[in-house]
Chain A
Amino acid sequence: MRICNFCSTFAAAFDQTTMSNLLEIHNLHASIGGKEILKGVDLTIREGEVHAIMGPNGAGKSTLSAVLTGNPAYEVTEGTVLLHGKDLLSMEPEIRAREGVFLSFQYPVEIPGVSMVNFMRTAVNEKRAYEGKPALSAKYFLALMREKNKLVEMADKLNNRSVNEGFSGGEKKKNEIFQMAMLEPCLSILDETDSGLDIDALRIVAEGVNRLKTPQNASIVITHYQRLLDYIVPDFVHVLADGKIVKTGDKTLALELEKTGYDFLNE
């Protein structure tokens, strides 16, 4: 059977540029307090992909996650970011979240007096309202929470405690992935999720992330160390240095970096 060349070429091009592009970052520049941190980041992420971002301290890794989620401390000075073709940078932080952008915080925030149940129910129902869906009943919601608690081996008694208050380092990181499971984002950004975790907690957190993977969603895994990438295997590894992506490879690049470090940047 012959396939029209034009059609197949067109279909392939169409497929690559629009259909499956979840996130498109073009020439992104951002600063904090007048100091430029991101100096022209380009990155395209398609559905189903896992991208690792590695790089030395101060390269701008956490700035990238802050800018994508709309942290008001940072100012975008140039560039565009499209999420499913929509202008992400013009959206308020809560709208970005409801559109499916989720950040697993490097330092999860304690909120005294606001219970996990109340926090999570508000978040889930605000997202549902945004999508035109009815609120979940209290009974169904609690059952859903318990089900998702199990995914990260998180004790369900934590549901009645204030958000992150008095949680151990491991519990806080499990709580981030638990929230990710509740909100079912299309784009998860894991910012140094491995920092401060012992090997058991790391395995549990990583398995939780892997089980949440679908052909439609994608993850950005920001990390310093190869260790996490033994558990969450990336399709692409990018090296961010001095505010730009300077090298991209497959998972073997992470292993290489583990051996050689970032000295090649200075060559």
Chain B
Amino acid sequence: MNNLTIHSGETFEQVFLNEPSVDLHIVQEAGSHVKIHVLNWRADGSNDAQATNRIAVEQQGEGCSTEIYALAYLNGQQQVTTETRVTHAVGGGTSDQLIKFVLDEESKGRFVGELKIEQDAQKVEAHQTNRNILLSETAEMRTQPQLEIYADDVKATHGASTGQLDDTALFYMQQRGIGAQKARQLLVGAFIKDVLVTIGEDNNALRERLLNAVDGIIE
């Protein structure tokens, strides 16, 4: 496990691409910023690759921001587990989590998302979103959002959904002459890019490479 402290006013930004294991424990001091991307990308992995991502972030100072983005795009018998634990120990901070899985063939995904807002952590704004698409009948997704909110004056939202590609959108695209396979690829590409575009300026080259890779899947 990696223990990190992000000091007052500092920014920590990192993209983890296809790591078999990410294990982070981060403490944030007042006014610090954390932005993490964890990407598990099937194109670079072997058929039965497994990965576990554990990311725990504690806001111990006021006015912190935390952003966690996780994307797993899997096929074969690949398995990815992503666990996040965001703790607002003091008030005035924000946290945003966007977790997406695209699961094809017999791949499996698991998301456990703990969000804790302690009693004294007023005026916190915390959002957790988990969206998953199953591209086959044999793919499997388990999702467990866990919210513990002890403060009164906070804004907290969470949402989790697992489904298939939108049939009405597929038909609409086919009606315009777009082949069924291409239409699926366009929809999956849009779903994935939504996460990739949040990769920051410091990782411009990587973001562009990944966006192009998605287009490569589409072309």
Contacts and interface: CB of A to CB of B under 8 A. Distances in A.
B173 A111 contact: yes
Interface residues of B, number: 23
Using C-beta atoms within 8 Å of the partner chain, give the interface range for chain A: 20 to 34
Question: Which of A114, A118, A130 has the most chain B CB atoms closer than 10 A to its own CB?
Answer: A114
B174 A94 contact: yes
B187 interface: yes
Given A109-B169, A113-B194, A118 B177 contact: no
A122 B178 contact: yes
Contacts of A124: 177
Contact of A126 (B182, B187, B194): B182
A119 B172 CA distance: 11
Contacts, number: 77
Given A118-B186, A119-B176, A122-B178, A93 B191 contact: no
- Chain B interface helix/strand/loop/mixed: helix
Interface string B148-184: 0000000000000000001111011111111110110
Interface string A33-73: 00000000000000000000000000000000000011110
A112 interface: yes
A93 B175 contact: yes
Interface in A95-121: 97-98, 102-103, 105, 108-114, 118-120
Given A93-B171, A108-B172, A113-B194, A183 B186 contact: no
A92 interface: yes
Interface of B: 166-169, 171-180, 182-183, 186-187, 189-191, 193-194
Interface of A: 69-72, 92-94, 97-98, 102-103, 105, 108-114, 118-120, 122-124, 126-127, 130, 162, 179, 183
